[in-house]
Amino acid sequence: MSGTLKVRVDPNKCQGNARCKSLAPELFELDEWGYAHEIGDGTVPAGLEDKAWLAQANCPEIAITIDEE
């Protein structure tokens, strides 16, 4: 992988299961209702790429997308 990864949570799909937060707390936060969103602009810091892919793979609503820039 040569580019930077960015994660994004689709708020219309997220159901608040918080698996992403459990698997990658460095990348995701929960709002006051328990729905997830990416931290900051969603840029995945070096060394956390595997956690981003793991969170995406474990989202039951398929609400997480990962883009390579």
CATH of the domain at 25: 3.30.70.20
**Is residue 6 a contact partner of residue 42, using CB atoms and an 8 Å limit?**
yes
As for how many domains the chain has, the answer is: 1
* Residue span of the structural domain in which 40 resides: 5-68
**What global pTM score does this model have?**
0.92
List, for the chain, all residue ranges whose pLDDT scores fall below the cut of 50. 1
Per-residue pLDDT at 3: 85
Distances (CA, A) of 58 to 25, 52, 69: 14, 10, 23
Question: Looking at the DSSP assignment, which residues form a beta bridge with residue 43?
Answer: 6
Per-residue pLDDT at 1: 46
Q: Which of 58, 61, 3 shows the shortest CA–CA distance to 27? A: 58
Per-residue pLDDT at 2: 61
